[in-house]
Structure 1
Amino acid sequence: MDRVLTAAGLPPGVVYVRDLLSGDEEEDIRDRLDAAEWSTTLKRHVQHFGYLYDYRARAVTADAYLGKLPEWLEALASRLVMYGYFADLPDQVIANEYLPGQGISAHVDCVPCFGDTIVSISLLSPCEMIFRERSSSRSLAVLLHPRSGVVLKGAGRYDWTHEIPARKSDVVGGTRLDRGRRISLTFRKVVRATGTPS
């Protein structure tokens, strides 16, 4: 599939997939999210589905259970399983809204909280994601196109951080790309713990 990229330009265990969604699906997701309430507790706006992630404690607890994913997100989660990106159905999704100039600092998604696969789908605007190897100074960048997905597994999940630099444009191949409003959907599987609802 030529829309799937696994190359020297990406960390081991990272797969980049173009056109994971159609344009109509992208618009539908944006409209569904905008019809709901965006949380303003962070600098960027977020919505949680399945479980609430506690950014301060870096934890997901049993009392953070919000209920099953809505049907439209469960359908997307099932597609990710069908494509072989997840072995089990993801049950937690965070929608992040990024306005030009906003980003997210370098991080590894909470290891005790979530399983071995993370999938992030980009909507609306391109932006650059930077990967940094934790044991060296090595860094790699990938341009995330609208409707694309990034799959993090193995070393790409645990041994490399990923970030969206907080800037209003990206320079890729000598060309400046202005950012617009971007939304990401991050799919994860919560690691079961005592007292966590099934």
Structure 2
Amino acid sequence: MNELEKYRVEQAPPTIYYIPNFITKEEEEYLLHQVNSAPKPKWTQLSNRRLQNWGGLPHPKGMVAEEIPKWLKIYTEKVAAIGLYGNKHPNHVLVNEYLPGQGIMPHEDGSLFFPVVSTISLGSHTLLEFYHPIKSENQSCDEKPETSFEDRFLTSILLEPRSLVFVCDDMYRTYLHGISERTTDRISESIANIDKCEIDKSVTELHRTTRVSLTIRHVPRVLKSKILFGKK
């Protein structure tokens, strides 16, 4: 854990850790091959990306656990060994594929998960952006926010290929996170983790290619299938 402190992003609220080159180029190619070799039914197509769930499908009533394949389990164990999950162990991996110009609206992961989320990026960079919460105490979920996302922008984190990021504490519980739908990203000193990135610091713009993210989490509430279906 003391070694981990050098990866803490000091320019962001508590707590983000950013580890560049967490995996090798060869590991990246291996993981991309495994993702792209998954059976077609494993993919879920959304309007702005497609995804795979491994380990089960998280649900408020509980997740029916499924075995995580060995090619992913190697990395859930490697991430768990860092120690930020405490005595918990990651049991779910969400694989997202983003084409250039695709993203995800600002959102929170919520109470379905232990409040530590880790993501390995493959293939391309992206900017992970954080925002102040939209909903106030007296505002219902159906009401439009009084201010735009731009007005609520907090900070951004550059996620390079082969990097690992941990989002914990208030950065998980309090703030929203998302990825803007664009094909290029402006690179500047305003990016909270720019000092920890491996890119050439003279670069001012990066062009996105296809990115695959492995989001590794722990789902506390797990059900056995016989309980879910009312069997004894």
Answering whether residue 68 of structure 2 is matched by residue 69 of structure 1, we say yes
- TM superposition shift of 1:17: 1.2
Answering whether residue 90 of structure 2 is matched by residue 100 of structure 1, we say no
Q: 2:119 maps to which residue?
A: 120
Kindly provide the amino acid, as one letter, of the partner of residue 157 in structure 1.
Y
Kindly provide the amino acid, as one letter, of the partner of residue 55 in structure 2.
G
- TM superposition shift of 1:9: 2.2
Q: 1:192 maps to which residue?
A: 221
| 8 A Cα contact 1:118 1:152, kept in partner | yes
Q: 1:56 maps to which residue?
A: none
Change in Cα spacing, 1:4 to 1:99, as seen in structure 2 (3 Å) is farther
- TM superposition shift of 1:168: 0.6
TM value normalised by structure 1: 0.86
Structure 1 residue runs of 4 or more that deviate by more than 2 Å after TM superposition? 1-5, 7-11, 59-62, 133-138
| 8 A Cα contact 1:103 1:163, kept in partner | yes
Q: Deviations over 1:44-103 (max 9, x none)?
A: 1101101124xxxxx3544x5351111121111111111113222111111000000000
Gaps of 5+ in 1: 54-58
Kindly provide the amino acid, as one letter, of the partner of residue 48 in structure 2.
K
Q: Deviations over 1:154-186 (max 9, x none)?
A: 111101111111111101127121100000011
Q: 1:25 maps to which residue?
A: 27
TM value normalised by structure 2: 0.74
| 8 A Cα contact 1:11 1:140, kept in partner | no
Kindly provide the amino acid, as one letter, of the partner of residue 44 in structure 1.
R
| 8 A Cα contact 1:4 1:17, kept in partner | no
1:164 to 179, 189, 208: 179
| 8 A Cα contact 1:99 1:180, kept in partner | yes
Higher helix fraction (1 or 2): 2
| 8 A Cα contact 1:94 1:185, kept in partner | yes
RMSD: 2.3
- Structure of greater Rg: 2
168-177 or 114-123: bigger deviation: 168-177
Q: 1:13 maps to which residue?
A: 15
- Partners in 1 of 2:66 and 2:119 — Cα distance? 21
| 8 A Cα contact 2:98 2:212, kept in partner | yes
Matches within 5 A, 1:130-149: 130-134=129-133, 137=152, 139-149=154-164
Gaps of 5+ in 2: 137-150, 189-202, 226-232
- Partners in 1 of 2:29 and 2:85 — Cα distance? 24
Change in Cα spacing, 1:4 to 1:127, as seen in structure 2 (3 Å) is farther
- TM superposition shift of 1:19: 1.1
Change in Cα spacing, 1:74 to 1:2, as seen in structure 2 (3 Å) is closer
